[in-house]
Amino acid sequence: MAEKAILFDATRCIACRACQVACKQWNGLSGESTRNLGTYENPPDLSAQTWVKMRFVESTEGGAPAWTFVRQACMHCTDAACVRVCPTKALAHHELGMVTYDPSECSGCGYCVDFCPFHTPRAGRNLVSGMGKMAKCTMCTSPGLDRIGAGYQPACVKTCPTGALSFADRADLVAEGTARVQALRAQGRANASLYGENELDGLHVLYVLNDSPEAFGLPANPRVPATAMAWKGALQPVGWALGGLAIVGLALNFVIARRAKFSQEAAAKRRK
């Protein structure tokens, strides 16, 4: 089965943020209290309740102010740091390539938040249980809300009014994105590029950029942190072992404390 992807074309985006609204509506995500921080961006960052955000980048062009817009969400990496370090398999690769997430399996450890090279996952806390959970874009493959499995486009793609977002076979989108970049370069955009074709063995969210990745706040050469590889290979098993020993120690301490309590109560009864 051919892998799927989203193509985001920064030259077609008008920052209407309909994608943000559609994502919240489909996934049942709540609005957030915000305040003016001197930008049209709203909310100011991703969160457990905001999985897609349009970031505004101010620059100059020909001596005049200019705006460019960039989509901020999970990049659905082939070599995904979050999948590597997740100890419970809450994060996994879908057969179509995107990174899926099952919150019922999440332990709230936060390793995915720490190791993602794009700083995308966000941790939230359930106000009832107090348990921390990660949250991120699943490209509309969440259990019970799977648009892709039902044959639909992701909600953000469906609602985009300008064609800045496309959803199709990844190979077709790579070809389409390459053609658009070539057209931009022919127009004098020497730094135009297709971001995501090869980064981290291929992203499933591709970007047509009319400037360098750095101009859009994207890492030019993203890498899975070496600490993530070390954690998965050696440190995580040691961590689990130490955690297990800690649990055993707490259990023994509980048993010893209860025995001491019973002994004291028995001695008090005999004295009476």
pLDDT at 57: 86
Are 214 and 264 members of one domain? no
Cα distance between residue 127 and residue 135, in whole Å: 15
Cα distance between residue 241 and residue 237, in whole Å: 6
Are 229 and 218 members of one domain? no
Are 176 and 268 members of one domain? no
Write out the residue range of the structural domain in which residue 245 sits.
225-272
Are 126 and 237 members of one domain? no
User: Among 224, 246, 261, where does a domain finish?
Assistant: 224
Higher pLDDT, 6 or 266: 6
pLDDT tens digits, residue range 168-185? 999 999 999 999 999 999
Domain harbouring 98, CATH code: 3.30.70.20
pLDDT at 167: 98
Are 218 and 258 members of one domain? no
pLDDT-derived band at 59 (thresholds 50, 70, 90) equals confident
State percent of the chain over pLDDT 70.
81
**The total number of structural domains that make up the chain:** 2
pTM score above 0.85: no
Residue 85, both tokens: 């370090």
- Residue 173 CB contacts under 8 Å (≥ 6 apart), including other chains: 5, 6, 7, 166, 206
pLDDT-derived band at 272 (thresholds 50, 70, 90) equals low
Cα distance between residue 199 and residue 92, in whole Å: 19
pLDDT above 60 (res 191): yes
pLDDT tens digits, residue range 15-46? 999 999 999 999 999 988 888 877 788 898 99
pLDDT at 213: 95
- Cis amide linkage into residue 222, ω under 30° from 0: no
pLDDT at 242: 47
Are 57 and 162 members of one domain? yes
Residue 30 DSSP code = P
Cα distance between residue 54 and residue 45, in whole Å: 9
If phi > 0 it is left, if psi is from -120 to 50 it is alpha, else beta; for residue 76 that is: left
Are 60 and 10 members of one domain? yes
Are 231 and 108 members of one domain? no
Residue 229 DSSP code = H
C-alpha dihedral, 140 to 141 to 144 to 149, nearest 10°: 100
